[in-house]
Structure 1
C-alpha cells in the first residue's frame, strides 16, 4: 500500500428486512447473475447499498479521498465532513446516479475526519449512513516550504490557490492550498507544468509538448500532444510554450514558436550592428476539442519583426535563435470578438480581430514603431502614467479596464529612448482603455508589499477576484527587503503569492514559497485564486 488511511469503509448493520437497527439500508445486495450489476424492480424501496472512502488508485495524487456510494435507484449525494476542530463542510453533488465515485477535496495532511454520507432519491426520500472516520494521508516527499506572512480573515476572499511550483534541483508538484495557505491537494507530474487552469474535471496545464488534463483523483482524462500516444489528441504544430487556455467547449488556445529568417535585424541596443538572423516567431492558435487547428495568427505578420525591445537581441538559451517577441499570454475579449497577445520583449500587448486578424490597437511604449503602426498606438493620459515593462498576464474587466503584472525589467525603459525611468521593481497595474478616443489611463498601481517593493525578474500573474481584491504572483525573487534569499537561509529564487485590495492598497494574504539553503529554490508561474474547486458539479457550505 502506498500511503496509510486505506480502507475507510462503511457498512450498515444488516437486518431481516434489509434495514439496519438505525434505519439505514444494508449495503449489500444481490448481483444480477453474469453481469455483476444489480437491477432494481420498479417498486423496490429506495436503498443505500454501500458507501466507502478510500485513496484514489493513482500513486501520484495526494490529500484527496475518493467517496464511492451505490444506491438501487438514481440519487443525489451529500457528504458532511467534520474536522478535528468541529468545522463542518457540506458538499452536495448535483448529478444524480446510482453509482457515485467522487473526490472529497479540501482535506489537510494527516488530519482525522468524520464523514456523514446521505443520499436523496428523486422522490425526496433521504437515507443517511453511519459516519466514516479516517485519517488523511501525508504530503508528497518533495514539496516547497510555505510561509504565511499575513492573512486578514475578515478581508481575504474565500477560495483556494492553484499553483504548480517547480525547482530545477528538487522536483515539481501541482498543488491546491486553502485560503490559510495549507495544502489540500497535490499531484506529482512527470515534468514541469506551466499555465495551470481549472477545468470541469480537475486541472489542465502545459507540460512540454503536451497539454494534459488531470482529474482530482489523479487520472489523465484528456491530453493534447504534439507526439500523441494512445488516446492523446494530436496537434499539428509544435513548439508549445507559455499558454494553454482551455475553452468551455473542450477546445483550447495555445502559443507556439517557429524559426523565422530575418534580414537586417538589430543585434545591439544602440543600433550599430545588424545581421541576417533567425528569430523566434510566436503564433497564437485556436484548436478544437478533436485537435483541429481552426485559427492561427502569426505575430510577425502583425507587427514589425525588426522592432526590438531589451532582450530581443539575446539568443534563446542553447540555440542560434533570437528572442524577438517572447509572447507569454493570450486573452480573449468576447465583447468584440478579439484576441490579445502579450509580448514580453516588445513591452507591448497587441489586440487584433479574431475574425480578420487585423490589429485593433497596440498597448505599450511608442518608441521604434514604424509609421505603418503609429495609428494603432494608444495615447497615454494622466500625470502619473507609466507604461509597463516585460509584462505578464493581462486580464480584462468591464468598462475597458485591464489589469496586468508589470515586471518592470530594465526600469521600464526601451532601446529607442534615453529616458531613465528609475529603479527596477515589479507592480500590479490597472489601466482604462478608451477605444473611442484611443487613449490609455493608469487607474492605480500596487507594489507596496509587506517587505517593500519586489523585483520579479520573470514570470508573474495578476488576477482580479469576484469581490474586488486582486491576487498576484511575484516569482523569480532573488531577495526580499534588499536581503538576498541566501542570506535568509533559502534557496536562490523564491515566490510570493499575495492578495491585496486596490481600494486601500492593503495586503490581505501573503504567502512565501521557497526551498532550503544551497538549492535553486522554488518558482511558481501564474498561481490562480479559485472561488471553488468543484465548479458546477457540487455546492459547498462551511459551518462551525
Structure 2
C-alpha cells in the first residue's frame, strides 16, 4: 500500500494578543509574556486522516482549538483544565491542508497539517445523490463486511468502519483483523461496536481499544482464528455468555445490552420443515438466541433466553429451523468448530432494544418473522408481532419478513427494516411477484390487537424496486428524515452490493424523496450491516 507522508509543521509558538512589542516600551515596564503554551501535531501512525495534537502549558488550562480547512472548519472541545492535552484531530478529508489554531488567553499556536490518502483497500463510494440542504446534519458511520481475501496465506483485514461527510467523502476509518458489526457513537465521543459476533469493543478516534468484552467461547476454545491470530485482546473482560452478535448497546442504567446464543437439543420436531429434513428424524441441535445484559466489569445482570417463548416442537410458527446451513456463517461456525457438526441457526435474532418505557426489551427474530416484546423485570413475553401473533393487520403483506433493526419512535410507533424474504405478495400483485425490501413504520395497539402501517418506502435502485435479502437498517434522523440501509443486495442490481439512502418521508405512493444515495459496487461484494448518522465526532462539553 503506498502511503503519502504528511507535510506538516510542528511548532511551539506563543503570540501576544497585540503585535510585536517595542523593546523600549518593554523596558518602560510592560510585563513580558512567557512562552508557556506549546503544541505540536502529526498524523497518527497507521492512520492517514487523524492527527494527534499535543498541547502543553505550565499551568492547568483548557485551550480553544480550531481546525480550518477549505471545505469545513470546526472546533475541538476540551473538557477540563490540565497541563497536557493529547487530542485526536479527526473528521478530515484525504490529501487536504488544514490549519490548527490553539489559543489560551493571549497565547496562540498555529500549526499546519496535511492528511494522506485513503488506504487502497477502502472501496470507492459512488454518491448518486447528495442534496445537502435537505439532509439531516452530521456524518454517516457504517461498517463494511466481506473484505477478507480468499488466499489462506493472507493476513486479511476483515473488518472496516467508515465515517463519511455529507458529500460522501471518507473523513475517518478503522480497520481490524475481524469483522466489525453494529457500531454507535457514545456521548463521550468514543465508539462502541460489536466485534467478530463474539465480543464488543469501545474505541477512541485514534482506533485504540479502551475496553473490550468477550464471550466465554472466544476467550477459551476459539481464542485463535484460522490464521493463528488471537481474536480478542489480552485485557478482554470475559462475559459468561456464548457470543455477542448483531447488536451491542448501552442502556440508560449504564449496562450493555447484547444478543448472544446458546445451543439446545430438541426431540420430536416435525419432519419436512426443511427440504433436507426427510431422513434426519426429529432430533436437532438448534442455535437459539439469548438477550444478555451485563456491566462493564463483565458481570451478567440479566438474561432473556428466547427459548422460553418459542417452541419448535409444538408451535407451527416456530418450526422454520432451516436457517443458513453453511459452516462458515455465524452462528453455525461458532458451534460447528467445537464439534457440533449439525448445529442449526434457528432463530437468528438481529436486534434488541429497550422500549421507551424502559420496562421491556424489543427483539427482532429474523427467521421466525417475529418481533417479541419481553418484560425486563420478569422475562415474561408481553406480545408477539408477526404472522400468527397478537396483532391483526389489514393484509398479510403488511407483516414484516426476515426484518432487522427495530427502532421505537417518539410518538410510540415502531420503525424497522423489512427485508421481505418470505413476505406475502401485496394486493393485486401476482403470488410469484419478486420480493422487495422496505423501511416500514407501524402503530401497534396491544389492547385492540391491531397493527397499522403508518408509513413505508420500498427500496429502489434508479427508480426500480430492489431486494436486499439480508442485513439492513432504518433510522429516524433529527430533522425527521429516515436513513435506510439496503445492506445486502445478493442479486447486485447495476453491480451494487449495498446502498445507503436518506429519504424525506411523505404520504406519496413512493413514500418520500431521496436526498442522499451512497452506493457500493465492489468486486469483493462488500455489504453494510447498519449505518448511523452522527452529529459530530466530538462530545459536547
Smaller-chain TM-score bracket: 0.7 to 0.9
C-alpha contact (below 8 Å) 2:399/2:423 kept by paired residues: no
CA distance in 2, matches of 1:275, 1:265: 5
Q: Map of 1:256-271 to 2, 5 A cutoff?
A: 256-269=260-273
Structure 2 match to 1:219 = 208
Q: Deviations over 1:44-96 (max 9, x none)?
A: 98864211111224x2x4411122111222322322222235x4323333433
Residue of structure 1 in register with 2:501 after alignment: 498
Match of 2:363 in 1: 341
| Partners of 1:138 and 1:393 in 2: CA distance | 34
Q: Which structure 2 segments of 5+ residues have no match? A: 22-31, 150-156, 220-231, 328-340
- Give the drift of 1:201: 4.2
Match of 1:54, SS?
strand
Give the deviation of 1:6 after TM superposition.
Answer: 6.4
1:189 aligns with 2:176: yes
**TM-score, normalisation: structure 1:** 0.81
Structure 1 gap ranges (5+): 25-43, 120-124, 367-373, 414-418, 486-492, 538-544
CA deviation after TM superposition for structure 1 residue 365, in Å: 0.8
Per-residue Cα deviation, 1:465-515 (whole angstroms, up to 9, x for no partner): 1110010110111346xx552xxxxxxx61001110112600010000121
1:12 alignment counterpart = 13
SS at the partner of 1:300? helix
How far apart are residue 433 of structure 1 and its match?
Answer: 1.2
Match of 1:151 among 130, 150, 155: 130
1:65-80 aligned at under 5 Å gives the runs: 65-80=51-66
Query: CA separation in 1, counterparts of 2:293 and 2:324?
Result: 28
1:343 and 1:127, CA in 2 relative to 1: closer, same or farther beyond 3 A?
same
Contact 1:198 1:204 in 2 (8 A): yes
What is the aligned partner in structure 2 of residue 362 from structure 1?
Answer: 384
> Structure 1: how far apart are the matches of 2:442 and 2:171?
35
The alpha-carbon distance between structure 1 residues 443 and 310, as it changes in their structure 2 partners (threshold 3 A), is farther
- Could you tell me which residue of structure 1 aligns to residue 91 of structure 2? 106
Please list the CA deviations of residues 2-47 of structure 1 after superposition, one character each: whole Å capped at 9, or x if unmatched.
Answer: 7522653122169xxxx798479xxxxxxxxxxxxxxxxxxx9886
> Could you say if the C-alpha distance between residues 233 and 47 of structure 1 is closer, same or farther in structure 2, counting changes exceeding 3 Å?
farther
Contact 1:46 1:73 in 2 (8 A): no
8 Å CA contact retained: 2:14, 2:38: no
> Per-residue displacement from partner, 1:320-379 (whole Å, max 9, x unpaired)?
12222111111111415100111000100100100001111111111xxxxxxx6xx122
**1:160 paired residue among 108, 132, 139:** 139
Label 1:23 to 1:191 Cα distance change in 2 as closer, same or farther (>3 A): farther
Q: Of residues 446, 449, 453 in structure 2, which corresponds to 1:442?
A: 453
Is the contact between residue 14 and residue 35 of structure 2 (CA under 8 Å) also seen in structure 1?
Answer: no
Corresponding position of 1:91: 76
Task: Give runs of aligned pairs for residues 133-532 of structure 1, distance below 5 A.
Answer: 133-170=112-149, 171=157, 172-199=159-186, 200-208=188-196, 209-226=198-215, 227=219, 229-247=233-251, 251-269=255-273, 275-306=282-313, 307-308=316-317, 312-314=321-323, 316-318=325-327, 319-366=341-388, 377-380=390-393, 382=394, 386-412=398-424, 420=431, 422-447=433-458, 449=460, 450-479=462-491, 483=493, 485=495, 494-503=497-506, 505-515=512-522, 519-532=523-536
Contact 2:14 2:108 in 1 (8 A): no
CA contact (8 A) 1:513 1:522 kept: yes
d(CA) in 1 for partners of 2:301, 2:91? 38
Name the one with the larger strand percent: 1
Q: Distance in 2 between matches of 1:9 and 1:478?
A: 49
Whole-angstrom CA distance in 2 between matches of 1:2 and 1:147: 23
Return closer, same or farther for 1:455/1:311 CA change in 2, 3 Å cut-off.
Answer: farther
Say whether the 8 Å CA contact 2:54–2:84 is kept in structure 1: yes
Distance 1:441 1:266, change over 3 A: same
Q: Retained in 2: the 8 A contact 1:163–1:174? A: yes
Task: Give how far 1:293 is off.
Answer: 0.4
Equivalent position SS for 1:328: strand
**Range 244-253 or range 296-305, more displaced:** 244-253
Assess if the C-alpha contact under 8 Å between 1:195 and 1:244 holds in 2. yes
Alpha carbons of 1:303 and 1:99: their partners in 2 closer, same or farther (altered >3 Å)? same
Which secondary structure does the structure 1 equivalent of 2:407 belong to?
A: strand
Measured in 1, the distance between the counterparts of 2:312 and 2:536 equals 42
CA contact (8 A) 1:496 1:510 kept: yes
After superposition, the C-alpha distances for 1:428-484 in whole angstroms (9 at most, x for unaligned) are 00001123323211001101534321110100011111110010110111346xx55
Q: CA RMSD in A?
A: 2.9
Q: Decide whether aligned partners of structure 1 residues 229 and 158 sit closer, same or farther in structure 2, where only a CA change above 3 A counts.
A: closer
Q: Distance in 2 between matches of 1:150 and 1:269?
A: 44
Q: Secondary structure at the match of 1:275?
A: coil
Out of 128, 133, 149, the position equivalent to 2:108 is 128
